[in-house]
Amino acid sequence: MFMEWTNDFTPPPADDRRRHYPILADPPSVELHPCTQGVLSTGSRKLQSAVFQIATGHYFGADYSSKFRPTAGDRTDCPRCGEFYTANHVLEDSNCYAIEREGLLDALLKHTLATFTGGQKLAKFLHTNQVFLRPLDPIPSDIPPEPDP
Ligand SMILES: [Zn+2]
């Protein structure tokens, strides 16, 4: 069955960093990818979904909102620092989540998405920090006032 899925899979374009995520790019196997097995071992469907959404680029982040929901008014700035709120920003290259990542996630997302332990740790990070599990809350000034009763 997994080989059939692999045959149907269209890899991301050559300039897309997801193409280098082992969970998507490793050669086909008759078993689930080790990272997938690690994620599944957490037993949380919500966390499992979030990890797979991140790996495929269909997650609650700014790049997805900008590409697929440009007129929806989704918040796209990081609530902590104001930078563009992407998986790479939160999980790899920003200082604002560096303390939370320390000792848990590899420096590069492609390394985290390569191993059983990486899958478990990424799920733990998402749970602990409650990131990418839902759309960002709107900026308080953007919330319309309650109508008068
Ligand atoms: Zn930030």
Give domain limits for the chain: 32-133
pLDDT in tens, 124-143: 999 999 999 998 887 777 66
pLDDT in tens, 16-34: 878 888 888 888 788 999 9
pLDDT in tens, 43-70: 999 999 999 999 988 999 999 889 988 8
Q: What is the DSSP letter of 90?
A: I
Cα 50 to middle of ligand 1, angstroms = 19
Q: How far apart are CA 3 and CA 59, in angstroms?
A: 25
Q: What is the model's pLDDT at position 102?
A: 93
Q: What is the model's pLDDT at position 9?
A: 73
Cα 102 to middle of ligand 1, angstroms = 15
pLDDT in tens, 86-118: 999 999 988 999 999 998 988 889 999 999 999
Cα 142 to middle of ligand 1, angstroms = 20
In the chain, % helix, strand, coil (3-state, to 5) comes to: 50, 0, 50
Q: Chain-wide mean pLDDT for the chain?
A: 88
Cα 141 to middle of ligand 1, angstroms = 19
Cα 90 to middle of ligand 1, angstroms = 6
